[in-house]
Amino acid sequence: MNREYNRRYTYDQYGRISRGNQRGKTILHVIFGFLVPYIVLNGIILALVVAKPTIEAAEPDTRDYDTASFTFSVKSLLPLKSVTALLGGDEVPIEKDGNTYSISVESNGNVQLKAVSMNGMTAITNVQINLLDETAPVIDENSANLGTGYLEFTVSDDQSGVDFSSIYAIDSDGNHLKPTNIDQATGSIMFAMPTDSLTVYVKDNAGNEMPASFNVSQA
């Protein structure tokens, strides 16, 4: 019994139990029992306070040059308070599927994406839309060739392309005419010209239309 007692405690020169071990244990208890948890807890609280969401957006795409769409995701340590999108100051509807958001717009411009987490921290990302064809085709009036009874000119469109099936003309008598020849490779268009003037109409594949008038006096 005395041996076990002696192993558990140490004595000083006066035969009293030494408190050295207990002091060491007390310090360790304070460090690991209070100080470390305090630092960890405050670190976690600080991380939550300053946690900021992030937005990752895919490149916009279009199928018809009339509507552009893209998807984006938002990563956030905390639940999100709101996710919004603005185009020219107007709010754009957002569709959500799990963690993926999708947007569809009908005009070019800057789409501002904004995500706000529950702690008020905000992330903003801008996506530029310039895919949509908002410009009518070009009718090259300088290329016009007014011959005897016919009109020839060229058309072009750098984005969605010319809708060659849409091309028609109205003569001075109000008759609707279709081209007598179309060369899609060069954009050359030919009409019969039974009267002294024609107004031609050309659309691109996005639906933008361009009119142009030709008359014999231009020849």
Q: What is the mean pLDDT of each run of 10 residues along the chain (219 residues)?
A: 49 52 61 60 55 92 93 91 94 92 96 93 95 94 88 95 96 95 96 93 95 79
Q: What is the pTM of this model?
A: 0.68
CA distance 203 to 136: 7
List CB contacts of 117: < 8 A, sequence separation 6 or more.
51, 52, 53, 76, 77, 78, 79, 80, 81
Please name which of 122, 124, 95 lies closest in space to residue 110, comparing C-alpha atoms.
124
Distance of CA 126 to the CA centre of its chain: 7
Residue 57: both structure tokens together = 């957006």
CA distance 52 to 167: 54
Per-residue pLDDT at 14: 52
CA distance 61 to 207: 18
Per-residue pLDDT at 176: 95
